[in-house]
């Protein structure tokens, strides 16, 4: 059974750095055509893709947040870590990690298994 679980602080202060960890099980972070994405959702708002990392260590970031984000993985620990610097109250959201799968035919990528999410509040 494939599962992903997000962990990190519930509350951070403005200007602090947020570090979130996604611990996966049921698959390996070295599997071909697989990766992990981070997505967030402010209260009452839409989903926003933040970053992803693939098994070949290819990384990508949201254009609007690129300067503040860093994603990395530790395959031996089955963990993907996202850091976001200079947190602001507008970054208050539920943060999800999700597994990315790709088809052999046409390399279509999709997020097929999601964690339950972790809620982060930014407040002094």
Comparing CB distances to other proteins, the nearer of 15 and 25 is 25
Q: At closest approach, how far in Å is the CB of 26 from other proteins?
A: 15
Which of 16/48 has CB closer to other proteins? Answer: 48
Nearer to other proteins, 14 or 57 (CB): 57
Closest approach, Cβ 86 to other proteins, in A, equals: 21
Least distance to other proteins from the beta carbon of 96, Å?
6
Nearer to other proteins among residue 17 and residue 64 (C-beta)? 64
* Sign of the Cα pseudo-torsion (1, 42, 11, 15, in order): positive
Provide the 8-state DSSP code for 66.
Answer: G
How would you label 82-93 residue by residue, b for 16+ Cβ within 10 Å and e otherwise?
Answer: bebeebeeebbb
Of 97, 93, 96, which is closest to residue 45 (Cα–Cα)? 93
**Interior CA angle at 83 toward 10 and 39, to 5°?**
75
CB of 23 to other proteins, least distance (A): 15
The contacts found for 70-74 with CB under 8 angstroms, 24 or more apart, are 71/38, 73/29, 73/36
- In the complex, the residues that contact other proteins under the rule CB under 8 A are 37, 39, 46-49, 52, 54, 58, 60, 62-63, 96, 98, 103, 106-112, 114-117
């Amino acid at each position: 059974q494939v599962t992903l679980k997000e962990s990190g602080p519930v509350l951070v202060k403005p200007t602090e750095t947020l570090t979130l960890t996604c611990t996966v099980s049921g698959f390996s972070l070295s599997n071909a055509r697989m990766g992990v994405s981070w997505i967030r959702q402010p209260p009452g708002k839409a989903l926003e893709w933040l970053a992803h990392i693939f098994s070949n260590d290819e990384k990508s970031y949201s254009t609007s947040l690129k300067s503040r984000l860093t994603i990395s993985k530790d395959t031996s620990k089955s963990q993907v870590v996202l850091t976001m610097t200079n947190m602001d109250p507008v970054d208050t959201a539920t943060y999800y990690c999700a597994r990315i799968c790709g088809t052999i035919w046409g390399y279509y990528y999709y997020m097929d298994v999601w964690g339950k999410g972790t809620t982060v509040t930014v407040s002094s």
